[in-house]
Structure formats: structure tokens, C-alpha cells
Structure 1
């Protein structure tokens, strides 16, 4: 049985990961939170998940990670995520990073930490979204050099901290790598310029996540869309990644490795 530690255990994603981990038969050995959120120190009492009563909730990552086979990180704070990756690296414990909004410099730090532990990072843990990445790459290659304009549209709940989403940025990077076009966020005026990949974000309500990549051509339009109906799709992907990464050698992995695509 895999022993799992969860960072950001009281957040929306952290709670979903805990629920899915229990469904999948993993042993949750503890949760990590900021000191002011630890409360009673009992993960079950703080989350309301009865099966986790007696499991510790702590603000000390090192002691928690020592008891775990794998760590899943969903703190929601990019700098905290990098810090937790550093602790996991020092201990040689595999870690799955689910927090979004990381800068390129943050990702480079993760790559350095992966020299000492198995580290998996993806801007989106959904299995369907990672398949979307591949489909978009295929479409961009097939339409390269033809009169098509690429645009990316994403919608999330009103509380999401980053815009555009990490997933939208990844989609833009995929298109840009194939076409040589430049990603442009939130145009304000003027006609569309050649050599651009547009990104647009909407925030409102309780939308879990929706991403559409448009390929606009003369007299036709191709749309590739993924809609998440529940945060559990991301949690299930993260737990699947945790099961996959246990026992893997140090290295920098992503969800393509998990899916074998």
C-alpha cells in the first residue's frame, strides 16, 4: 500500500485528493498546511473526513515527508510548491506537483530538484487535458503553413488566482512550438495580426475548468475542447501519477509519462 502525504490538505484540491486517495486504497499518512490552518492537528477533524481521524495535520514538511512513499502537492502557492519540492529532493521522496501559476524560473528549480528525487510536474493533472495537449499538437502540425488562425479560450471559477491558466499557457506553447507564432494574452484593440496565438480568460461562478483551442480557417473552424465537471478529475490524475511515480528513479516527469503518450 502506498503511503501518501498531501500538501495543501485543507484546500479544495487537497480535499479532493484525500477523497480519491481513500477510494483508491492509498494510506494517507498526513496532511500539510500553513501553521495558522493546522487547528487541532487532526486531519480527519479538520477536513470532516471520518476515515482520516487520528491522521496528523502538520506545518512541518520534513517530518511528514519522511513517513511517506509519495507526496502530492496542491498548496496553491507557487513558491511554497517549490519549497516543498526542495524538501522532497533532500529526502529523496517522490513528489507530484499540482500547483499552477509557476514561473519558468520556478520550473527550472523543480528540474534541479529532480536530480535527487522523482518529480512530476504538469500544469494540469486531468488525463483528458493531457490527451488534449497531444491532439492540439497533432492538429497544429497538420495545419502548419495553411491559412489558419489559432486562438485559445479558457474559463474558470471566480476565485482562480492566475490568468491565463497554466493549461492555457501550455496549449499556447504547444501551438507556438509547432507554428513559430507568438502567444498574445487579452488583446485590447485592433485587427488580429499575423504570427499570433491569442489567449483569452473568463472568470466567474463555480466553473471548474474549460479550455478550447480554435483553428479558424477559410469557411471552416476546428474546435478542440475539454470541460472538467468536477475537481476530482484533477485529483484522480494526481493520484494516478502518485501510483506511477513510486519507485521511479530521480528525474523530471510529466503526465505524458504516466499515460505513455
Structure 2
């Protein structure tokens, strides 16, 4: 993509997200239709589905040859990373959305032949949009983020998955105790915005492509590390426990994970 194509794509996707946010806020106090997927804590609502259908429709019009991987299944069956792939999470943190009407995000990312091109994470309630990529830069609303301080695990707060901590998977309790404190937000998008703003030094959770697609692009652009929990390369279509952290915190965490 040349610079003009990047600018045009950023402008178009930002407009989609503004419109989608308005749609969600208009319906947020309405009675939701809530269904379960894999279990009682894995929810989907009529607004998740409507939002994904909205994004899929917009992407089909804007980039008709591309494949679309969406959490709720309104896109394509994507089994390889060839070509242009849009990855969509229409409501990230659905439990928060249902129970709190807060702390949830919308996420979109674009990959071409497995390489991250552009990512977008919108904190819906706070109206914060993190967007960009390696050839564009990363911005929070209109402010460019040039770097994230390379903080050690022991000097920062870390975002963790509640179930991983409760079950002490991968020595997660030691990781929490080594940090200055853990935070559990219940939304990958909200956690990752906090990492890229420098509020958290890392985030660990079991994630699927729509959960980490945008964050992976930002991490690679800003010099942070996003890998599997044991430090291996994270494939675009992977569904694994994921570790996002500053380089120093990433090193510290792997030492604990592998002990």
C-alpha cells in the first residue's frame, strides 16, 4: 500500500467506527438479546451480530476481493494468510457490555499476506481510538505514539486473564506478585489500549485472531513484543495464550513461565 492508499483506508475505517459507535450508543440502553456460545461466560448479543454485519458490509463495498474473518461468523471461512484479510471483533468484552455497559471495544485489522498493515481499537464509552500501522505510525485519536517506555515487570502494572490467574496457569500468580499489581479489565481491546498508552507493562490472556489482530500490529510498530505465552511466534490465525509486553517485561515474564 502506498501512502495515499493508507491515508484513504485510515479515513474510511475511522468513519466506519464512528458510525458503528453511534449505532451502539443509541441501542446501549435497549433490551438486549443475549445468547451463549461456548459457555455461560461466553456471550453474544444482537448488537454484536448487527455490528459485525455492518462492518462486513462496509468492507465488502470498500475491498471486495478481500477475505473477512469475523468473530460472529458473518465473514468468510479463512484458513490461510494469503492475500488481503480483514479481521473484525464487533464487540470485544461482551460480558462487560451486557453487565456494565462499559469497558468494551471494537477492533478491526488489515493483513496482507500475513503482514500487519493497519489496526484499529476503539474504546467505545471513552471515545478513544487507537489506530495505525508500521508505514503509517500509531495514533491515539490525533496524538502520535512514538514509543512506549521499556519498563520491567517489577516496575509496572500488568493486565491478566482472571481464569489464568485463578488456575495459576503458566505460573500466573508469580507473574502477578512480581509486578506492582495486576488488573483484570475483561476486554483484550481495553487492556491493549492501556499497554500502548503506557498504563500497563503487559497483558496476558487466551486470545483468538480477532482479539489480538490489531494489537499485534501496534506491538510490532512500537517495539513491544507479542508472542505466545512461551515466547514463540504468534501466527495471525492462532488461538493461543498470548503475551504482550514491553521487551524488558516480556523477558521477565518468560523467565517465570519457563521455570
TM-score normalised to structure 2 length? 0.27
Q: Rg bigger for which structure?
A: 1
TM-score normalised to structure 1 length? 0.26
